Amino acid sequence: MTAARDVDVLVIGGGMAGAVAALAARSRGAAVVLVRRAPGATALSSGAISVAPDLGALPGEPLASRRSPVEAAQRLAAAWRDHPYAVAGVERLAEALAFAAAELGQVLAPPLDRRRFLATLYGSAVGAGLCQHATVDGDLLAVRGTLAVAGFRGHAAFDAPLVAAGLARYRPRGGPEVRAIELDLPALAPGAARPHELALALDRPGAAEALGDALRAALPAGAGAALFPPVLGLDPAARVLARIRERAGVPVAETLSDVPSVPGLRLHRAIEARLAEVGVEVVQADVAAAPAPGEPVRLGDRELRAAAWILATGRFVGGGIARRGVLAEPALRLPVQAAEGRDAGVQLALRPAASLTVRDRRRPQPLLSAGLRVDGALRPQDERGRPVHPRLFAAGAVLGGHEQATDGTGLGVAILTGFLAGRAAAGGG
C-alpha cells in the first residue's frame, strides 16, 4: 500500500457549509479534499437563504421589514447567546455572503443590502438575504407592473389562484398587482407532475421556448413579470429562465420550493460544478470513527493526511448527528452537548426524546437543535470545554444551538461558519 497522501485541508461533508469551507480554503491556495457520502439537506433547500429573521418586524407583514440581513443577524446574535452567529460572531457575515454568491454565481444572485421578498407556494412572502437568480425577478418590491402567477394546466401541485390571492394582500406594503393565469404544457408528456420531471422536461431544447410563447399569449395587460412554480429547469447551464423571457418579453421567476426541491437540486449541481472548476478534489466515501487532523485517514480505497479538518456533516438529514437511543456524532465521536432552549440542560445526549422536546411545536426544540459545541474559532469542544484539537473545525448544521428550519437563518449559518472555518483551516484570514 502506498503512503498516505498529504493535503492541507480535509473537508468532511458536501452541503453548503462544506462547499463554502472548501472554496474558502481553496481560494487561499490550500490543497483541499472534500469527502462526502451523499447529497445532504442542502439539496432539499428552498432556493432562498434567509440569513437572519428580522425579530422586530410585524408578524404577517414581511414587506414592512426594512432591516438589512446583516443588521438582523447582529440583533439575533445579541439575543441568542448559544446561536452560532453569537459564538462565531457576525462581523464577517457580509463578506461571507458575498463570497458564497460569487463562488456559486451560476445559481446565486449577488446580495442586496436589503432583503428580497420572495413568494412561497403558500401564497405568502418571506424575506431572503440571499437567493437564486431564478427568484430575483419575483422580488415583490422589484416587480414593475402586474405580477402574473402562472400555473400549469394539469399540474395540481401548484395552485396559482391561491398564490395570487395570497400575494395580493401585500399591495398596501408596496407589493405589486397580482393576477393568476393558466398555461398549457404542450411539450411535456402527460402525467409528468413531479417537480423534477417538469424541470428536466423544460431543460430540453424547444420546451422553454414553447412555454415562453404560451406565456406571452396569456399575459394580462400591464404585466411586469411572471411567477412560476419552482420547476424552471434543473441544469443551470440550460438557461431556462432566459429562454422563456426571450420569447415572453417579461422577466420570469420561480416561487420558493418545498420538498422535493428543484432549486435545491440545482444548488447542489452548482456546488459540484464549482468544486470541480477550482480544483477541490471530491471523494465519495463514508467517514466513521476517524482519528484526528495530522493522522492518516482512510477514505474508501485511499489514505490521506491533512493538517486541518473541517467537519461539515450536517445534522440528522445529513447524518452529522445521529440518535439511536443516545445522541452521537458518528464521524469523529465528538460529544453532542449544545442545544437551543432552556430545557436542554445537562446530559443532553442521554436524555429521552420526550424530555428533549416541548409541546409547542413552534418553540425551540432542544432535540432538533442538538449538535456540537464550538469555541469562537469554530473548534469543537470536549466535555470540559477545551478544543478537541487545535486544527479541527466544524461548520454548518453539525453545530448545535440553532435550528435552521425554525430560527429563520436558513443556510446563513452554513455560509458564515463554512467561510470562517475554511479561512481558518487554510491559515491566515
Partner 1 sequence: MADAYDVIVLGGGVNGAGVARDCAMRGLRVLLLEKADFGVGASGNSSGMIHGGIRYMLSDRSVTALACRDSGYIQRIAPHLLFRIPFLMPFASRKEGATLVERATWYATEVYVGTYDLFQPLKRGKPSTRLSAEELYVLEPGLRRGLAGVVTLDEWGIDAFRLCTLNALDAAARGADVRTWTEARELLREGGRVRGVRFRDVLTGEEGEARAPVVFNATGAWSPALARRNGARVPMRPGKGVHLTLDRRFSNYGVICAAVDGRQMFLMPHERESIIGTTDDDYYGDPDDLEATNDEIEYLFEGAASLVPGVRDARITRAWCGVRTTLFEYGANEDALSREHQLHDGAADGLAGLLSFVGGKLASYRAQAEEATDRILELLGRPHGTCRTHEVPLPGGDEVPDPALLAKDGLVAAPVAARLVYRHGSRAREVLRLVADDPRLGLVLCRDEGILAAEVVHCARHEKVRRLQDLRRRCRVGLGACAGVDCARIAAQLAGRELGWDADRIRAELADLLDQGWRERRAVLDGAQLAQEELVRGATGLLEVPW
Q: Does 132 bind partner 1 (CB under 8 A)?
A: no
Q: Does 316 bind partner 1 (CB under 8 A)?
A: yes
Give the nearer residue to partner 1 in terms of CB position, either 4 or 165. Answer: 165
CB 278 to partner 1: min, Å: 28
Q: Does 352 bind partner 1 (CB under 8 A)?
A: yes
Q: CB–CB of 349/339 below 8 Å?
A: no
Stretch that binds partner 1, among 18-26, 46-54, 78-86, 371-379 (CB under 8 A): 46-54
Stretch that binds partner 1, among 31-39, 45-53, 208-216, 381-389 (CB under 8 A): 45-53
Strand 116-119 and strand 125-128: pairing? antiparallel
Q: CB–CB of 220/179 below 8 Å?
A: yes
Q: CB–CB of 399/417 below 8 Å?
A: yes
Q: Does 62 bind partner 1 (CB under 8 A)?
A: yes
CB 140 to partner 1: min, Å: 14
- Please state, in angstroms and rounded to a whole number, the distance separating the CA atoms of residues 329 and 321: 5
* Residues from 165 through 184 that contact partner 1 (CB under 8 A): 165-166, 169
CB 375 to partner 1: min, Å: 25
The residue length of the chain stands at 429
Q: CB–CB of 47/134 below 8 Å?
A: yes
Give the nearer residue to partner 1 in terms of CB position, either 151 or 293. Answer: 151
Give the nearer residue to partner 1 in terms of CB position, either 17 or 297. Answer: 17
Q: Does 328 bind partner 1 (CB under 8 A)?
A: no
- Please state, in angstroms and rounded to a whole number, the distance separating the CA atoms of residues 121 and 99: 29
Q: Does 324 bind partner 1 (CB under 8 A)?
A: yes
Residues 348-380: b if buried by 16+ CB within 10 A, e if exposed: bbebeeeebbbeeeeebbbbbbbbbbbeeebbb
Options 65, 68, 74, 132; binder of partner 1; rule CB under 8 A: 65
Options 163, 185, 223, 336; binder of partner 1; rule CB under 8 A: 163
- Please state, in angstroms and rounded to a whole number, the distance separating the CA atoms of residues 361 and 365: 8
CA torsion angle 314 83 340 287 (round to 10): 20
